[in-house]
Amino acid sequence: MKPVEVLGVRVESPTNQPIVLLRELDGDRCVPIWIGAAEATAIAYAQQGIEPPRPLTHDLLKNVIEGLGRSVTGVRVTELHDGVFHAVIDFDGGTAIESRPSDAIALALRVGCPVAVDEAVLDEAGVAMTPEADEEVEKFKEFLDQVSADDFDTEE
């Protein structure tokens, strides 16, 4: 497993499909994962420190876990099968629960636990970042500073 940082979410053109971008901490690869609009909003809220007036699903999950006296120790993107990413949420005491990566990442951002990606997944889906791409990542981070989670709402 390789530790990664969650760079954030953006909407990919021309499909208008949100993606979350993960970058390995000690390397030059990024993994883009296509996600749903609700999960994109949940990740953006967590990164922007927005607390909704009532708990969203990932806030509720965090509250339930803490209310039961448990803690999340980490999130792992473990596999990639037929273009579909799989993840696991690790809990204290050794419990591991399968999850979609987007839900696991949204929870990880709320509880402040590390996120990691399996080396085989990085090898298959990782995109090497060139110096030009690093400039694009910086532009992406600037974009994230200006975007609102409401920008990912696809309901009309």
pLDDT digits (tens, 9 = 90+) for 84-94: 999 999 999 99
Beta bridge partners of 96: 90
Q: How many CB atoms lie within 10 A of CB 17?
A: 14
**Domains assigned to the chain:** 2-152 (3.10.690.10)
**Is 90 exceeded by the pLDDT of residue 153?**
no
pTM of the model: 0.82
Q: How confident is the model over 100-145, as pLDDT tens digits?
A: 999 999 999 999 999 999 999 999 999 998 766 556 555 555 655 5
Query: What's the confidence (pLDDT) of residue 156?
Result: 42
Query: What is the spatial order of strands in the sheet that 127-128 belongs to?
Result: 96-99, 84-91, 72-81, 115-117, 2-12, 17-24, 29-34, 127-128
Give the integer Cα–Cα distance in Å for 41 and 128. Answer: 27
Residue pointed to by tokens 């690790």? 90
Give per-residue pLDDT as tens, 37-70. Answer: 999 999 999 999 998 889 899 999 999 999 999 9
pLDDT of residue 57: 92
CA atoms of 90 and 73, how far apart (whole Å): 6
